[in-house]
Chains A and B, each alone.
Chain A
């Protein structure tokens, strides 16, 4: 938990300043220099020839030919004179420093301007840093265990294992394998038939066929779309304090659809950054630009709108860095990046690309606070709207004719009851104008904003003017032009080594728990180095070579023997590679928040598999919505929407759906490139007691009772088969049978409790697809004791580590 750079301390023991001086310099002096001066006077920018980034720079001075500081003599130091506004040179140009900041500088010069020794040795990662090198495609090394390897991925993995003297693990059993790959590619466990088919299919292509089927499933887009929505910080509300609902599901559906169509990744990025700037942009391409409109927006009373607009742009820059470049660009907002070759100027160059959207920046525009938006009617909305317009036109036409008639008859229109009636109808009709779905999009202002460096990262302090521009360190990529479209093309330029590496690394992370580069959003000097650099480059080059096909890379990874390995822990692996970085086995991963829900829904036979559409309101624990500033409605779905997949649940940023949040779904305030996997008692409470999970268990019980009539043993088998793809092992069967019998006795002696636990939402005609929950009741013709008993069993199964984990 405590990690500081020992850089200065170590150096200070030798030639340099004493510890107290160093501390004073680091906590008081350097922050002033860095935030107040360095935007212009850095080693890179050297405005007027001066750099304050090193002691040498200050001693050398700038173009005036005088030293900026005379150690020990504040009165004779130009720096002090300038910051005190004592002479003609007044610095910073944007306004005098605070008195305490000036005092700090004076004290420091008076003390002899101590500077940590060894400072010069600290250099930013330069052009030679691995991540900035062109992607090199290396031929895969020959495998030492040829029989094990399935494709090139394995050759790289094996070569590294050989070095450590580790053997890979054998392939996982078939049930584990199909469950793993189904969950990874579609986020749903396999059905009974799918498992059976795969287990019985002894052809060499059996697994290949499964992968092909899953990649073609429309649920693939939901699973991988959700990963992308984490990056896009997608939510259904504005965020901040008011957190009003907004409609963005069109963007969510665009993502799902694009992935299902395997839209090439370069186009996927270009449309999201600048779909509106493509020639003849389609509605879909406009919707795609919602990507960077997913930023939270503040509409609280009394705010300075410009401040939050700037904050949103800064978020877009940070997201660009984390999601595509693997660079912590945000670090260069207030000063040059400390470790990576990104200057503050370059930060504001990227900022400039994303700073032209026609979003509001003053109080006067509050009425239009989500601008720019786009109307995207659904088919029904179009039909309803067309019908309405026709009817409205007819009515108003009739009104005009009527007025003319009155006039021609010389009747006083004001007194005419018929006219009054017609006016009333028309007004009523106008009120009923159908609503059209809108979505937030990017659209640039007609009058471009001017762009400046924000001194110290504060938007009120304008520094030098900047133009849109990209990072100079990526010398291999042609510098981009001035539009968002240019930026997008620069991001996915085939010569840009970062984007494909960062993207395939994230794919890898989802399959193995961590990336080849563990710090998936930081490929800079502070990030970790790739464990398998050649494999990373192989995948990156394969990604570009395949025409940026995401499905191609998924296929490559899941077909590898590395992916198919057993996840069973081994003592030798534990000894030599405790974090399983070299992948001598697979990793066990707890399911993502949404996938837990989806799995239980499918196993219980409740899942409504509809893809896309407006976000939905499944049951929510009482009191969960009580934390927001403005009371928000939660109209619980009583029809099929009650059992939709987790990614369709309406997401309020200020009151996130509890069972999602508790299982580490991101809060959508900023880009999320990796979810943590926590393990907490609140998770246990959710799975045990949350109404939603109780309903899943009840449905599972009903299913077991209705589908298996032959006895407890067979029912248990079926329960395990449905939930885990396998039958219970002997020890498990013993244990759960014991539980089953105890519970049956319990409910026999307490029939009232049995009735309560057996009472579930009832579908009048038994078909969940048309179900409307009227009330909770014991389903007709079923024994409440049996239902309650099997509901208890299902609760146990939905809480098993086995069920919660992808093996």
Chain B
């Protein structure tokens, strides 16, 4: 256990013994505790209590739009006329030397050819950023987006690479970014989990729960998967035949009996347990309200393309705004099916349609609610796709995994939008000037939350671990 936690714990105990005294009668104790029993749990008892940041934070919350499967930057944001010009030419060996790709055998059989995009690009917004025809709505908010181009990562397979973006390691079992954030500074919501995960698309993201795990941090910090239809959290509804009245009476009875036990043993864990039952009850009562979209205006629903009760990315975006509004620290949305090896036509159109409108709606909605300044929004996948085409089915062309240079964007928290940070060469193979690594992105996200990535550590198996391993540098061009 580390020093700070120790002190906190010590304080709790001191407080307990000083105020309660071991000799004080049970009745006195019970009445003392009953006074604020239904109030929010004491800071020290709640692992998600707000904790001080290392330095003033730029944002309170993060919404991470994770595009699982790795979107093709060349079809969306990276306008590369040279690549179009050299379309169909065999990729020069000098560019491929020393690189490792997924599905090496495909590239070994036949030398890969460069692939220029078939999509139309145009400049958008006041800033004149390039966006393709696939994302017309995103193009409408381009002045709020800061593109980070030429991001590179370590592993070319989906599972490990997703794990890497989320936990800073290709090895499964490390704490995820949201877990680090809530471990570091807690959450401002007293009736919802601090770290919420939302999913949409035809299947779950590769890697599953490992992507939002708490690893060696206490499980209180793990991401809680919400569903956009039905019960948002597992076991949030009362069992059949248990009304809210019965449930609250049940919790009261448990509380009173636990207090008797507390008086007997003086075990501070019981104080925590009592607080957690109160929190569970508040989650139960606020959960339905959270997912109840009936108070949202028709205009808002249409802007997102949200439909009540439907499991969609659009609903999740709206839910994300509602979560952030309620003080949730870290919200992560997964939308799957971006892995376009075979075909960059219809399947890509489809997934772009699913995310484009809701994403722009989220930005606009956060902005008009005054939340964009205190929320960091990130859009990106686990890696990008190759400048070379990949032919798996005759007559169709897709792109392979590319880990040396891909594109994400960030918005909110005062980040100046309408610009590109970084950049890649004319063919999009490599970063142009300095490399921006995934660990740098992670350092930047923590920085926006007021956390120094080198100081946010946890001791495990003899080592101080951190999200950024032994690397990472805050991208100052982004944070300003």
Contact = CB atoms under 8 A, between A and B. Distances in A.
Interface residues on B, range: 35 or more
Contacts of B401: 302
Q: Which of A298, A303, A519, A750 is packed against the most chain B CB atoms within 10 Å? A: A303
Nearest to B461: A328
A646 interface: no
Given A574-B17, A678-B220, A758-B241, A241 B284 contact: no
Given A304-B100, A678-B218, A681-B279, A800 B257 contact: yes
Given A623-B227, A627-B225, A574 B277 contact: no
7 tightest A-B contacts by CB? Answer: A757-B241, A654-B208, A756-B241, A241-B159, A328-B462, A302-B102, A669-B173
B238 interface: yes
A678 B218 CA distance: 6
A732 B2 CA distance: 38
Given A521-B461, A629-B207, A658-B234, A571 B22 contact: yes
Nearest to A514: B1
A419 interface: no
Given A1-B457, A746-B246, A754-B241, A240 B47 contact: no
Given A629-B204, A795-B250, A301 B462 contact: no
Given A623-B230, A731-B26, A796-B254, A588 B461 contact: no
A302 B156 contact: yes
Given A623-B227, A629-B204, A240 B242 contact: no
Which of A621, A629, A656, A800 lies at the interface centre, i.e. has the most chain B CB atoms within 10 A of its CB?
A: A629
Interface in B225-251: 225, 227, 230-231, 233-243, 245-247, 249-251
Interface string A654-667: 11101001101001
Given A300-B157, A654-B209, A800-B257, A569 B172 contact: no
Given A1-B184, A3-B2, A303-B102, A679 B276 contact: yes
A777 interface: no
Contacts of B10: 578
A732 B284 CA distance: 27
Contact of B172 (A240, A242, A655, A658): A240
B357 interface: no
A804 B276 CA distance: 14
Contact of A689 (B100, B184, B237, B256): B237
Given A3-B3, A670-B173, A623 B250 contact: no
Interface string A607-640: 0000000000000011110111111000000000
A580 to B, nearest CB: 11
A4 B455 contact: yes
Interface of B: 2-5, 10, 13, 17, 22, 26, 47, 100, 102-105, 156-160, 171-173, 183-184, 193, 199, 203-210, 213, 218-220, 224-225, 227, 230-231, 233-243, 245-247, 249-251, 253-254, 256-258, 260-262, 264-267, 269-270, 272-273, 276-277, 279-280, 283-284, 401, 435, 455-459, 461-464, 470-471
Given A331-B462, A629-B203, 9 more contacts: A1-B183, A622-B230, A630-B203, A678-B219, A684-B273, A684-B276, A685-B234, A736-B253, A756-B240
A301 B253 CA distance: 54
B250 A796 contact: yes
A322 B461 contact: yes
Contact of A676 (B218, B235, B459): B218
A688 B458 CA distance: 32
Given A1-B4, A243-B208, A300-B158, A588 B456 contact: no
Contacts of A277: none
A75 to B, nearest CB: 25
Nearest to B256: A735
Contact of A588 (B233, B251, B265): B265
Interface of A: 1-4, 31, 100, 239-243, 296, 298, 300-304, 311, 318, 322, 328, 330-331, 339-340, 363, 519, 521-522, 524, 526-527, 567-571, 574, 578, 588, 590, 621-624, 626-631, 653-656, 658, 661-662, 664, 667, 669-670, 676, 678-686, 688-691, 694, 729, 731-732, 735-736, 739, 742-743, 746, 750, 753-759, 788, 792, 795-796, 799-802, 804-805
Contact of A667 (B173, B227, B237, B458): B173
B451 to A, nearest CB: 10
A654 B207 contact: yes
Nearest to B207: A241
A688 B280 contact: yes
B261 A801 contact: yes
A519 B459 CA distance: 10
Given A298-B160, A678-B219, A757-B241, A669 B265 contact: no
Contacts of A524: 462
Contacts of B471: 31
B227 to A, nearest CB: 6
A239 B171 CA distance: 11
Nearest to A787: B241
B254 A629 contact: no
